Amino acid sequence: MFFRVIQIGVLLAVCILSAAIHLSCTSYKPRDYTYLFQDKITSVEGAARVGNKGCTRCHDEARHLNLPHYYKDSCEECHGGGSLHVGDQEAKGKIAFPGNDKCLGCHEVARKAYLFNWESSEHERAGLACMDCHNPHLLKGRFLKVNNDVRLNKIDERSNLCLSCHQEILGRLSLPSHHPIKEGALTCINCHNPHGDARVGRLQVNELCFECHQAIQGPWLWEHAPVVEDCTICHNPHGTVNKKLQVIAQPTLCLQCHSLAATRHSTTGAADNTASIGAVIFRDCTACHGAIHGAHQDQHLRY
């Protein structure tokens, strides 16, 4: 009952907030964000250049930073001519903002190396802009935007940024069994390339897991077939309520595909469906089949 009250309360809160946001949006003239997807929209029609001094009269913070993106007249390299903007400071729209192509136009080395698959990446297809994650106005080497979630004080700052959008993963990471990302032992980008295409990044899903878990990659003489196919059949890498990242608890996890062979598992009277199942199997199948990922010397994956 307590759960239901909380669920209903949260759903109501979400509805109310959504309505509030909708109302605030209707009174707001939508801004044209298509610049994020177009080539080199970095100029404003009719605007002339005013130089960095014109910008730093108001944007004082830029003057004092040792910024790689800040050099002589560099503001207007990305933001276009600023004369209309300077002349009418209320008209923020009269200044340009660089799209992804502008960034990639200069960062050519990156485009050819670690941004090789950016054009088909999940983030690009989802319409993300470089500046959703990066802030070019920061120090070199510290371009990543900062998400200050104080509850994640141990986490790597890159993971913290990912989780600011991927809230469902943050929820998963709070489950009792999880990869220690919140604890900072590894980061989201150990497994995911935010600039990459997951379809072409690896030979198969398991190869990604075996980059760190070589001890279970084999080769095994006696394999467990699902291990060959896909680790995520049994494990959810982000987090589960069950130990060892198992998607559902044993023995149910195993009994989905395996029957309980009566004469081999301390069960009695299994020739019909009426006898009780006082079996050792309920202390976890892997308590006996400990070599569940594969074995060299036992065909039943026991050791």
Q: CB of residue 48 vs another protein: minimum separation in angstroms?
A: 27
Dihedral sign from CA coordinates of 192, 206, 216, 287: positive
What's the closest the beta carbon of residue 273 comes to another protein, in angstroms? Answer: 5
Among positions 68, 88, 106, 146, the unique one binding another protein when judged by CB under 8 A: 68
Of 1, 32, 60, 90, the residue at the interface with another protein (CB under 8 A) is 32
Interface with another protein, residue 5, by CB under 8 A = no
Among 134, 145, 233, 237, binds another protein (CB under 8 A): 233
- Looking at residues 140 to 169 of the shown chain, list those that interact with another protein (rule: CB under 8 A): 140-142, 149-151, 154, 156, 164-165, 167-168
Q: Is 172 in the site for another protein (CB under 8 A)?
A: yes
Q: What whole-number distance in Å separates Cα of residue 161 and Cα of residue 168?
A: 14
- The DSSP-derived string for 31-49 is P--GGGGSTT----TT---
CA distances from 102 to 86, 151, 153 (A): 23, 36, 34
Cβ 206 to another protein shortest distance, Å: 9
Which secondary-structure segment (H or E) carries 123? Answer: helix 122-125
Q: Which residues of 198-229 are buried (b: 16+ CB within 10 A; e: fewer)?
A: eeeebeeebebbbeeeeeeebebeeebeebee
Q: Would you count residue 297 as binding another protein (CB under 8 A)?
A: yes
262 lies in the binding site for another protein (CB under 8 A): yes
Q: How far apart, in whole angstroms, are the C-alpha atoms of residue 170 and residue 105?
A: 34
Tokens of 141: 């080497």
By CB under 8 A, residue 286 contacts another protein: yes
Q: Could you write out the DSSP letters of every residue in 61-77?
A: HHHHS--TT-STT-HHH
Which of helix, strand or coil describes residue 235?
A: strand
Site membership for another protein, residue 228 (CB under 8 A): yes
Closest approach, Cβ 87 to another protein, in A, equals 23
Site for another protein in 92-111 (CB under 8 A): 109
Q: Does 64 bind another protein (CB under 8 A)?
A: no
Taking CB under 8 A as the criterion, the residue among 28, 64, 72, 90 binding another protein is 28
221 binds another protein (CB under 8 A): yes
43 scored as a contact of another protein (CB under 8 A): no
72 near another protein (CB under 8 A) = no
Decide: is 78 part of the binding site for another protein (CB under 8 A): no
Binders of another protein: how many residues, by CB under 8 A? 129
Q: Does 77 bind another protein (CB under 8 A)?
A: no
> Which one of residues 60, 144, 218, 231 is an interface residue with another protein (CB under 8 A)?
218
Asked if 171 touches another protein (CB under 8 A), the answer is: yes
Distance CA 78, CA 266 (A): 73
Q: Which pair of structure tokens corresponds to residue 70? A: 């800040």
Q: 177-196 mask for another protein (x: CB under 8 A)?
A: -x-x-xxxxx----------
Q: What CA–CA distances, in Å, run from 20 to 6, 23, 73, 167?
A: 21, 5, 42, 21
